[in-house]
Structure 1
Amino acid sequence: MPQPDNNGPAPSYGAGQRVTVAVYASDPILRVGVVHQLRQRPEIELVDHADADYAQVSLVTVDSVDDETAALLYRLRHNSGTRTGLVVGTFASGDALQRAIECGVTAVLRRAEADQDRLLRLVLAIANGEGVLPGDLLAKLLDHVGSLQRSALDPRAVSLSTLTPREADMLRLVSEGMDTAEIARKTSYSERTVKNVLHEVITRLQLRNRTHAVGYALRNGLI
């Protein structure tokens, strides 16, 4: 469980060592702002997107955690060589916060508080394997998890819809950025079958599109 951010001194990553960081953002302006802050610090080595999979820290900057953000975080979670931090404008609910944690986020910083020093502390903490979560967000997360546990004990609670193994596999591939043709080659099904399976999931669960379906499946622990 991440620990509250006490705004103490930046943790020591190691004398003479630089932390490699890949920056992801929901729009170019956000990315430029974060890159500008971190580029000035000698402890940080920024990597471009071509080498992003080899970065020690992936820093994702967004307004909020939507389905597209969740899909990105899920993909990053499966890269064992990198740890992920989130700089976020707001969490609409405890569910959104839990969703980010379940997708592999180990540290969170509010965008309004993301000055150069706090960004550096965040990155170095992530590199050292530490969790960072502001105290009020930690309280919100605990309240939300407690609420879910109480609901699970309620026999009247509605159970989650489930996915077949084939549906789950195809949604995992969608979350990795594959299109219909790529999924068909990977699974040895026809493109028509892939389209039909994904359409069935979207229709049955009353979702909007593939991205929404991936977000729903991640949020409910179905993939």
Structure 2
Amino acid sequence: MIDQANGRHSGAESTTTAVVVQADDALVLHGTTASLAATGRVEVLPAERMAEADVVVLITAEVTTGTLQAMSRVTEATAGRARIVLVADRVSEPQLRFAAGHGVVAFLTRSRTSGSRLLAAVLESHRGEPVPSARRLNVLRDQLRSSRDGAVPGEPRPADLAAREIDVLRMLAEGMDVMQIAAELTYSERLIKSVIHSVVKRFGLRNRTHAVAHAIRIGIL
């Protein structure tokens, strides 16, 4: 069946979800985009193709006026069709109210959001039944309250990373290579590579870039 509002197939024959990711940190943007694209379950579009997006992911440490303006731009570019997943660590009640009225259908706490959880939110936002605007704010409030009650079971906590691992990830985030990190920490290059490999393997990540993005997302960096 064709959804007349956007020309895409709906129901069991639904096409791949088209997603645009926006973030206030270039590293987070790169890591999240790569993570979603690697799943093969969504089509990640560049920002200039916003009008084609089914879902827009907005990632920010703190919701600001710029974040709210970004929501308005999404609504304008997609004629209100695209659904927005907001990923942030801090959001106020007035901001949440604005978000509910400007296309935001899901809220995730950035420091507790894994790649798999974000993917699930994106897919559910696109394929799930639309929430009436009158109820959307209550849904977002419930999601915010749940995020504050405690960590999601199975999600890694900052304490799960050793100080040495955090130091290595921080230096990677600063653009240092393995040789520079080894010299700075007075370790061998082999040990630095081992530390990176351990973090990547333990948390099911793909590479060092994904590891840095993950550390930022859970609030370590």
Q: Aligned residue pairs: how many?
A: 128
Tell whether the 8 Å contact from 1:17 to 1:43 is kept in structure 2 after alignment. no
Q: Distance in 2 between matches of 1:33 and 1:42?
A: 15
Amino acid of the structure 2 residue aligned with 1:29: L
Task: Decide which of 61, 81, 99 is 2:59's aligned counterpart.
Answer: 61
TM-superposed CA distance for 1:100, in Å, is 1.8
C-alpha distance in 1, partners of 2:93/2:11?
31
Q: Which residue of 2 aligns with 1:179?
A: none
Question: Contact conserved, 2:82 with 2:103, CA < 8 A, in 1?
Answer: no
RCO (CA 8 Å, sep 6+): is it higher in 1 or 2?
1
1:46-57 to 2 correspondence within 5 Å?
46-57=44-55
TM-superposed CA distance for 1:28, in Å, is 0.7
Report the alpha carbon displacement of residue 119 of structure 1 after superposing the two structures with TM. Answer: 0.8
Q: Do the aligned partners of residues 70 and 139 (structure 1) sit closer, same or farther apart at CA in structure 2, a change above 3 Å counting? A: same
Instruction: Could you tell me which runs of 5 or more consecutive residues in structure 1 were left unpaired when the two chains were aligned.
Output: 1-11, 141-223
> Mapping of 1:88-107 within 5 angstroms?
88-91=88-91, 93-107=92-106
C-alpha distance in 2, partners of 1:64/1:30? 14
Q: 1:13 to 1:40 in 2, by over 3 A?
A: farther
CA distance 1:14–1:29, shift in 2 (3 Å):
farther
1:135 is matched with 142
Deviations 1:100-142 (CA, angstroms, capped at 9, x unpaired): 22222111111112212111111011112456647362689xx
Change (3 A) 1:53 1:136: closer
**Structure 2: stretches of 5+ with no match in the other structure:** 1-9, 132-138, 148-221
Asked whether the 8 Å contact 2:96–2:140 carries over to 1, the reply is no
Match of 2:74 in 1: 76
Show the counterpart of 2:37. Answer: 39
